[in-house]
Structure 1
């Protein structure tokens, strides 16, 4: 075997170590939404971030095989519902498979041509600027069309558990 050939055991070990390292990163939690005709679609993500202020842009990472990605690619619009600390059940609901069925029993409205979830700490309506492949995911670059915020503590994900952010006292000793 040469050094350029792939070794499944080494690759699996790297994937496992990478997964553990990423579990140590505290991330915000959001539900990305889109419309396919009259049907709402959505999924929970923690892989999103602001990208640009001029123009206002975000990026979201979605699994290549997700139904939502196909809907976003077709509609060219998506919503980013940034969840609050009081919404972990919503995060779990939208993390499962189920297409439009995920919206059963969930309050929502249309805002900026995409599903909006009341109670979120932030909401962005976006149009797709670009889609870029990245491994087993696709990065969706979105130009922000509208933005709203609400005063609430954010829902975060760290060490495979939901939580929230608590500010540190800047004057406290480390």
Structure 2
């Protein structure tokens, strides 16, 4: 951040990282309690961990300080039992501007720190990520249905207003 209140572009990627850590911790909270510690350990170099292989950030507008930012992540693809990586999309919403400030596309690699190489996701992680992906798709379908219903309603109102 500069003295004028401009948020430096690197901060967007830090926000995405913090959001990704929180997203993973939330998965831990909703998964089987016996696996919670392993979810938390993904954020440390203890055994199996997650490494950001790449990130692409599409800036929508320059944020300024002070602002409150909400970071939302979603799975881009549905992992399977052979997956040693997964892809996330993050959106950063500016409360001050009431719109997305940036979008990030993240390539996350599963890494075994003990063996010093990539590793597949553990089966319980795949199960949880697949369930999360399926929920995302279900919510997307529900939202699209509501939008279609709203568009139909608006069209009916416009048609009846034009007929009067």
The TM-score normalised by the length of structure 1 is 0.25
Structure with greater helix percent: 2
